[in-house]
Structure 1
């Protein structure tokens, strides 16, 4: 198996990990979104801490990078809170696909804040992707629109976090960044969890622990995948999460996306494929 094939396989495993995380978050039931987020990140923090210790990395990163690590952690925390809210209130695959708008937003944010040139084909892909998002959201100016807004905000904040990560580049190790983010999120959300705490059953606790474990699998998988192959060569395969979440929505929750949502998925995937091929040509 060549490096590209290894990268694709790891990316598919990563996508499965993040999809299973979403399933267990939804299965954990009617708990506060912030409580779910904190428990998910607590598990990741423990695993990341062990990685930092094993590989003898910096626990808190370099002093000169603190403001960027804090910004990345803040944006990432908000992104997960909004994503989990969307998961709880939407068809699983709808929430996942709205969150997958983040690579398109990353193009805009990188141009605005990192002064990276945005090619015409990238801007066109962004526009096409947002048309697809409208098919999923089906705007009606009704209160039911709130979860879709949360899904969009999850993509916005995720793209912001990725923009900061691009700025950091190789200045900090992956284990350091993940631990810093997970620990920050856990500490910041803890007071809210204490104030709004809802008692959990053993089953709900197990579900949230599994959500955290699969989230870590997803993060490790995507990091390892991009060590074997460049993002421009394999990133398109990460959209397999939508296939997984569509199947899991039906199996676990008896939910299926409607026709408009399916059209939206296809449009967003087509925009991603269009940007993927043009990025390869540019390279």
Structure 2
């Protein structure tokens, strides 16, 4: 019999390494998405990912013998809606942009979290957040500067950039709901509603527009489901055990991993503009999630 409690205890003892593993597994997920032929629609990839994640999560919930429906169902469903929208946007951005650039844009979400936390859960929007926004946007503008994109032989449509930012915004909204739910719900119930809502909402669309994947694509699709599930578990546990400032900084490792995969597998070119811009986005993330300590 699998002892979930002992496994969770070992995960908790990893502390910040939970988030390192989360970043690594999420980066592998992006690698899988990038390798799948464009004939497979994005919503079908999200559905397969959701089905695999749902099966694994329900198995764990059954072992833990907990109520799979949770307590705050409206907020759990909302978390699923935001997560689904975020994943569709992220997959679209990964497919239509260099992996390194799409990952940097996705990781503007901690700055949006600070804004939405101020709006929806009454956290104060501080001077730090305003400064972080300015620095983060400067970094993004440096990366997306037409001259920089020309130098690396890349053309990106404005629509793809818009979708990438929409993914970051939906990710931030999902995180805010997760933060609120973490006070009353089990970790795996929170995780469960994400694929559950995705599967229910996307199934009719996929059935109407079904495209049968070949065996090579099936392997990558399984990879998406497996790596995303591992990333979700490590991330959710890691967020519970670390301050937001540390968590956001460690999560940014996915940009490093994504850049490495882009260079190794897709011959992407990394230049000083990208490194400088990505560093500014990271700096904005750190500032937005760090509280000002007043000394007396």
Normalised by the size of structure 1, how large is the TM-score? 0.90
2:14 match: secondary structure: helix
Identify the match of residue 105 of structure 2 among 95, 98, 105: 98
Aligned to 1:29: 37
Partner Cα separation in structure 1 for residue 156 and residue 280 of structure 2: 25
Structure 1: state its 5+ residue gaps: none
User: Given the alignment of the two structures, is residue 254 of structure 1 paired with residue 267 of structure 2, yes or no?
Assistant: yes
Aligned to 1:107: 114
Q: CA deviation at 1:274?
A: 3.2
Aligned pair 1:15/2:28, yes or no? no
- Cα 1:39–1:282 change in 2 (3 A) is farther
Inter-CA distance 55–4: structure 2 relative to 1 (3 Å threshold): closer
Q: Give the paired residue count.
A: 277
Matched, 1:57 2:69: no
Q: Structure 1 residues 32-41 or 255-264, which shifts more? A: 255-264
- State the TM-score, normalizing by the size of structure 2: 0.86
CA contact (8 A) 2:80 2:196 kept: no
Cα offset, 1:220, TM superposition: 1.2
Q: How does 1:1-283 map to 2 (within 5 A)?
A: 6-30=14-38, 31-62=40-71, 65-138=72-145, 144-276=157-289, 278-279=290-291, 281=293
| Secondary structure class of the residue paired with 1:279 | coil
**How much has 1:272 moved relative to structure 2?**
2.2
| Structure 2: segments with no counterpart, 5+ residues | 1-10, 148-154
Deviations 1:25-50 (A, max 9, x none): 11112121111111111111111111
1:166 CA displacement? 2.4
Residues 280 and 57 (structure 1), Cα distance of their counterparts in 2 relative to 1, 3 Å cut: farther
Q: Which residue of 1 aligns with 2:150?
A: none
1:138 deviates by 3.1
Looking at structure 2, the residues matched to 206 and 253 of structure 1 have their Cα atoms a distance apart, in angstroms, of: 19
